[in-house]
Copies of this chain bind each other. A is one copy, B any other.
Amino acid sequence: MAQTDTHPDGPRFRGRTTIRDIADLAGVSIATVSRVLNDRPDVAPNTRETVLQVVRERGFNRNRTARGLSNGRTGFVGLMLPLIADAYFGPILSGAAEALYEADLRIVLCPTLHEHDREVSLLEHLVSESTDGAILMLPEESEEELLALQAQGYPFVVVDPRERPPDGIACVSAMHASGAQQATEHLLQLGHRRIAAIAGAEHWYATEERLLGFRAALAGAGMFPDPELIRFTDWQVQRGVEVADELLSLPNPPTAIFGFNDNVAIGALNAARARGLRVPEDISIVGFDDTAQAEIVTPKLTTVRQPLAELGRTGVSLLNRLIDGQRLDALRMELSTTLVVRASTGPVPQRGRNA
């Protein structure tokens, strides 16, 4: 009816309802409909109501693509991460995805498989293609590359930086040092004095910070760490097993091991078990991250909880602000970590353990 009236070319059935159809039905111009839809203040209440009425009736939804073309924003955000199916990155991704969905942004998912080249090319894609910005998780990019990217004016946020993050780049991480300190103090309180650290990869930000916290806790108890008891790894279970094995073979082995992530802690668990040691009776083990695996292994792992999903969400909220052109005051955010005590830690064994 109104349709054919206003459109001499007959009823318009060319695909989906458009803003023009709504305008016709409501007897206003498309500009007005657009204004209503964008919650602009300069529309008469009556008009607004009429338009909304029609919109509801027809179940109208604006075309995202057209919107994007018109207002310059694409509504898409790149999400670069090493792996999707991963106990550590999964929850971060999940948090980010949720927040992006709420912010009405869509995702361009880019798994890099830890390959620097692939990451660089993906990143170029993201920039040159139409994304409004990106979240980079544990990026391989060097400080220079990141700064160069920023110089281009492309908005991005680093979540869980690999290296100590350069000034001026928006960055979200967990309180590594504080978490490590809590974990270590927990062991100290249980009476442990010979505490080993199975650290992550050398020079990584997370490794260095956690080491800092580890040392701080020891210092607080008036102790210096035995260099022999600190070992670096690639964060993987296998290396955890190997390194733990070395540690337990020492003439004066540790009574507790602090793994800098759950992987290596689980490795240590396995190594201890392989030697017939009981956990936590003979040796205590702490992890870091609190991934789903910590709950699955036996005994359940005492570990430092990183708010992984929250890291993702926070990253998104920073990115949103960057995209909106707000210059941020706090470019660096650190989320708190908490110790989760489970079953892999206990009082130091009285004496005469059989190494």
Q: List residues of A whose CB falls within 8 A of some B CB.
A: 15-16, 59, 61, 63-66, 68-69, 72, 74, 76, 83-87, 90-91, 93-94, 97-98, 100-101, 106-111, 125, 128-130, 237, 266, 270, 273, 292-293, 296-298, 308-309
Contacts and interface: CB of A to CB of B under 8 A. Distances in A.
B94 A111 contact: yes
A63 B130 contact: yes
B129 A266 contact: no
Contacts of A111: 94, 97-98, 101
Contacts of A125: 61
Contacts of A94: 83-85, 111
A93 B84 contact: yes
Contact of A86 (B65, B90, B108, B237): B90
Copies of this subunit: 2
A85 B93 contact: yes
Given A106-B76, A128-B59, A292 B87 contact: yes
Given A292-B87, A293-B293, A108 B109 contact: no
B91 A85 contact: yes
A237 to B, nearest CB: 8
B293 A296 contact: yes
A61 B125 CA distance: 9
A59 B94 CA distance: 33
Nearest to A74: B65
Nearest to A293: B296
Given A90-B86, A91-B85, A298-B270, A65 B130 contact: yes
A62 to B, nearest CB: 9
A281 B308 CA distance: 39
Contact of A107 (B59, B107, B130): B107
A131 to B, nearest CB: 9
Contacts of A266: 296
A83 to B, nearest CB: 7
